[in-house]
Amino acid sequence: MPGRSSSSSGSTGFISFSGIESALSSLKNFQSCISSGMDTASSVALDLVETQTEVSSEYSMDKAMVEFAMMDRELNHYVKAVQSAINHVKEERPEKIPDLKLLVEKKFLALQNKNSDADFQNNEKFVQFKQQLKELKKQYGLPTDREADGTEGVDEDMIVTQSQTNFICPITQLEMKKPVKNKVCGHTYEEEAIVRMIESKHKRRKKACCPKIGCSHTDVRMSDLIQDEALRRAIESHNKKKHRQSD
């Protein structure tokens, strides 16, 4: 049609989307800033538990993580809304170019209206933060977590013994220094050992099974592994206490 661009390089009608797409790319960089903020808040919260600082301080970090997760969700929704609006115009190629601002706002509000607390379960860093916080408290035998887990009244020595057992890598049978957790089955391993095992299996075109006895997970992948910061801290703390007791 005369006056309309048939180029597929990012323009429709008289509108070029290259500037919008460039701005979107820059906007996505903010996600890395949010991610860094979540890492910092998580680390501080774990420090507070490790030093057994007042619960109110830990709670403030929990609130910070919620706020970061909300910002991340809102940013994702905005990016999706803009991309959806661009795709709509490119695919429909309407005679009259719609008001892109209104179109984006409409799509953004539609996404925002579906918000719920359950969304946070899809935020990997937020979920990891809650799990690590819980695990670290469990390692320290904090009463609140024992009550939450239904383990109040359990002998303290038993908890310590179980914790020490969790310090051992199922591959090396040695105490872990850089533990990583399998997101699929929840088992932990020494990072170097599990990576070496996966690479060795893949070279032979085989799947790597979880080395934990009794585990049914038969396809451990690199993408399944996450740093287990809570366990690493617990191991270090245990060794420091053991060293002090031997002095």
CB 226 within 8 A of CB 180: yes
Q: Assess whether 123 and 188 both reside in one domain.
A: no
Q: Assess whether 185 and 100 both reside in one domain.
A: no
Residue 56 lies in a domain: yes
Residue 161 lies in a domain: no
Residue 130 lies in a domain: yes
Predicted pLDDT at 180 = 93
Predicted pLDDT at 16 = 63
Q: Assess whether 135 and 214 both reside in one domain.
A: no
Last residue of a domain, one of 91, 119, 140: 140
Residue 154 lies in a domain: no
DSSP state, 9? Answer: S
Predicted pLDDT at 162 = 42
DSSP state, 121? Answer: G
Here the CATH number for the domain that contains residue 238 is 3.30.40.10
Q: Assess whether 90 and 33 both reside in one domain.
A: yes
Six token digits for residue 79:
């990016």
Last residue of a domain, one of 93, 120, 140: 140
Residue 69 lies in a domain: yes
DSSP string, 229-240: HHHHHHHHHHHH
Predicted pLDDT at 4 = 41
Q: Assess whether 131 and 201 both reside in one domain.
A: no
Q: Assess whether 46 and 134 both reside in one domain.
A: yes
Burial grade of 173 (CB within 10 A; 0-12, 13-18, 19 or more)? exposed
Query: How does strand 188-190 pair with strand 179-182?
Result: antiparallel
Confidence (pTM): 0.55
31 vs 62: CA distance, rounded Å: 19
Q: Assess whether 22 and 133 both reside in one domain.
A: yes
SS3 188: strand
2: amino acid identity, one letter? P
51 vs 46: CA distance, rounded Å: 9
Q: Assess whether 70 and 184 both reside in one domain.
A: no
Last residue of a domain, one of 85, 113, 140: 140
92: amino acid identity, one letter? E
Q: Which residue stretches of the chain have pLDDT < 50?
A: 1-13, 143-164
Residue 54 lies in a domain: yes
Residue 165 lies in a domain: no
Q: Assess whether 188 and 105 both reside in one domain.
A: no
Q: Assess whether 205 and 125 both reside in one domain.
A: no
CA 25 to chain centre: 22
Please report, for the chain, how many H helices and E strands are present, in that order. Answer: 8, 5
186: amino acid identity, one letter? G
Q: Assess whether 123 and 193 both reside in one domain.
A: no
Predicted pLDDT at 8 = 39
What φ, ψ does residue 190 adopt, rounded to 5°? -70, 130
Residue 204 lies in a domain: yes
The domain total for the chain is 2
**Residue pLDDT, tens place only, 205-219:** 999 999 998 889 999
Predicted pLDDT at 207 = 93
Q: Assess whether 109 and 48 both reside in one domain.
A: yes
State which residues form the domain around 72.
Answer: 17-140
Predicted pLDDT at 210 = 93
